[in-house]
Structure 1
Amino acid sequence: MTDTERFFCSDAARSRGDALAGTAPHGTVWILIEYREGWPVNGFQGLDLDPRTKTLVSNAAQRARARILLIRRPGRRHCDGANRWAVLRRETDGALLQHWGTWQRDEHLAHVVPALTTRGTTDLPPVILVCAHGLHDTCCAVRGIPVGRTLSGLWPDMVWECSHVGGDRFAANIVVVPDGVYYGGLDAQTAITVIEDHMADRIRADHLRGYTTLFPPQQAAISAVLRRFGPAGRDDYTIAESVRHGRGWHIRVKSRSPRTPALEVEVMPHLTPPRQLTCRGPADSSAVRYEVTSMRRLGRDGAEPGS
């Protein structure tokens, strides 16, 4: 690379064919805080807020294992009116909960804390978060901002730009919450298709990074099943069992479909060669890639058919 060439991690990842499956961070609770001014590189922690309130929210988020993301509407920023905050949660039974409020003074953000232990509302549409945190990584702005503007033209009440969600090299990244689904490697057109499919409860493997309720090997197993058998609903496949086997995993996947009642998927992790994984990364580093080495059908009782 010459001195005049600029490195973009998402271009490099696409050229290498970096695998998306198994790259979604684990989590089931999100705190969203609308902040219309510039976002610090470290997001919420870098905001110039009342220290007591910030500590209160940070400690509560840590106890709840919640991720704090800054949000704003795509396009021109309007400074009038109160900012919004939200606590979103996916329960173990699949319930999708949302609790929204507003804030004008820093102290108002303290209301986030009791909301973390309040059940919330179940009948709200999902929130579509598009990572556009350019100060954290250039690709998030270059690829994320156009995607956010395109989607907001179709779903203006559901789409927000958000701060860093992880996996900069997969920009543009979208997270649908509280469903807990990560998508990556998107542009404006593919993002429309992905969200249309998601809203129809038809998830495809093509741009799927993973479900945040699952750990990376499990995410890779579900993605492989979707790629083999076609799109399916968010809860059509569940993980029945994950067993460590040598360096890899044997993962049993249950299905609602009578065609594939159960599957056993073998997943093997591999370290990639050291590479520059982010635009601002100071040094090369390796990532874990999850390879599905086999997949076999099981009967409804978990045994191989005919056994």
Structure 2
Amino acid sequence: MAGTASPGVVWVLIEYRGGWPPNGFEGLDLAAGTQALVLSAARTARARVLLVRRPGPRRRHGPSRWAILRHQSSGAYQQLWGTWDRDEDLAEIVPALASPGKRGLPPVILICAHGQHDPCCAVRGRPVGRALSDRWPELVWECSHVGGDRFAATAVVAPDGVYYGGLDAESSVATIEDHFGGRIRAEYLRGYTDLFPPQQAAVAAVLGHFGPAGRNDYQVTETVREGEHWHIHITGRPPHPARIEVELQSRRSPPRQLTCRGPAAGSVIVYEPTSVRRT
């Protein structure tokens, strides 16, 4: 599972209380001009557009919300929120994508529950969404497809940019509590979205070897590839090890059905740590 987080550092969230089509925002029956503007601006900003809704019974009245969540290269997190009633209101997202946003807002917990994309996400994701919403009602949203349906239930903490997978109701609450406490563990970690897959796997290996750490306690400083072998150098903040080298072997997994809806067997690249050592 380590090394499977979808890369990206900008998210566009759009609350939508109706049914979600298999391809999410792109499949909605909205004003074509507005939809095209949002999608074009999101592509320019390399942002991922997700539909969101609160877990539980759907709220029928009142304006819906939208948000821009951004993880800066410095490690700073920024957000900008707005509301919409008419399709045309979503055009406000376009200038918002160029805005720096606000710091200091609490993170958002996204749980994939996109049953029209893959039923596993709804069956496994909704109980997790309810459990997390009971604990953090203002922070939790169900969301459309974020990648890695085979790891349902999947959670994304944004704009931290941390993917988790294989969660159930009990493990999800403990995992997010640890996350907020600066104790990210390797057990359910898929990866950090500002890193490439082998770098994600290397950080997970470090957390598994040396114990949990905060989101920014480790930094990847060098990545060297030699065929199917990877050498990843990582630095840590005190009290964590200062310099670590991780060696990985990449291989393709045996073919198997990857998702509940997958029509045929597929294969993926996995990264196996062969060495984790201080340098």
- Measured against the shorter chain, the TM-score band is over 0.9
SS in 1 for 2:265: coil
Query: Does 1:111 find its partner at 2:72?
Result: no
What is the rounded CA distance, in whole Å, between the counterparts of 1:42 and 1:187 in structure 2? 25
Q: Structure 1 stretches (4+) deviating beyond 6 angstroms?
A: none
What is the rounded CA distance, in whole Å, between the counterparts of 1:162 and 1:84 in structure 2? 13
Q: State the shift of 1:164 in Å.
A: 0.5
Unaligned runs of 5+ in 2: none
Match of 1:140 among 121, 125, 129: 121
Match of 2:229 among 220, 224, 248: 248
What is the rounded CA distance, in whole Å, between the counterparts of 2:53 and 2:278 in structure 1? 45
CA RMSD of aligned residues (A): 0.8
What is the rounded CA distance, in whole Å, between the counterparts of 1:211 and 1:259 in structure 2? 18
Equivalent residue runs for 1:263-278 within 5 Å: 263-278=244-259
Query: Does 1:102 find its partner at 2:87?
Result: no
Query: Does 1:235 find its partner at 2:216?
Result: yes
Structure 2 counterpart of 1:110, one-letter code:
A
The percent identity for this pair of structures is 63
Task: Tell me which residue corresponds to 1:188.
Answer: 169
What is the rounded CA distance, in whole Å, between the counterparts of 2:147 and 2:239 in structure 1? 36
Tell me the TM-score normalised to structure 2 length. Answer: 0.99
| Structure whose alpha-carbon radius of gyration is higher | 1
Task: Tell me which residue corresponds to 2:32.
Answer: 51
Q: State the shift of 1:246 in Å.
A: 2.3
What is the rounded CA distance, in whole Å, between the counterparts of 2:30 and 2:41 in structure 1? 16
What is the rounded CA distance, in whole Å, between the counterparts of 2:232 and 2:173 in structure 1? 32
Structure 2 counterpart of 1:235, one-letter code:
N
What is the rounded CA distance, in whole Å, between the counterparts of 2:228 and 2:237 in structure 1? 30
In the TM superposition, what whole-angstrom CA distance separates every residue of 1:1-25 from its partner, at most 9, and x where no partner exists?
Answer: xxxxxxxxxxxxxxxxxxx100001
Task: Tell me which residue corresponds to 1:162.
Answer: 143
Task: Tell me which residue corresponds to 2:243.
Answer: 262
In the TM superposition, what whole-angstrom CA distance separates every residue of 1:165-211 from its partner, at most 9, and x where no partner exists?
Answer: 11101010000000000000000000000111111121000100000
Structure 1 counterpart of 2:124, one-letter code:
R
What is the rounded CA distance, in whole Å, between the counterparts of 2:239 and 2:150 in structure 1? 38
Query: Does 1:70 find its partner at 2:56?
Result: no
What is the rounded CA distance, in whole Å, between the counterparts of 1:109 and 1:87 in structure 2? 12
What is the rounded CA distance, in whole Å, between the counterparts of 1:250 and 1:232 in structure 2? 21
Are the equivalent residues in 1 in contact too, given 2:209–2:276 (CA < 8 A)? no
Task: Tell me which residue corresponds to 1:198.
Answer: 179
Match of 2:9 among 4, 28, 31: 28
In the TM superposition, what whole-angstrom CA distance separates every residue of 1:184-239 from its partner, at most 9, and x where no partner exists?
Answer: 00000000001111111210001000000101000000000000010000000000
What is the rounded CA distance, in whole Å, between the counterparts of 1:296 and 1:187 in structure 2? 32
Tell me the TM-score normalised to structure 1 length. Answer: 0.90
Query: Does 1:90 find its partner at 2:71?
Result: yes
Unaligned runs of 5+ in 1: 1-19, 299-307
What is the rounded CA distance, in whole Å, between the counterparts of 1:285 and 1:211 in structure 2? 24
SS in 1 for 2:121: helix
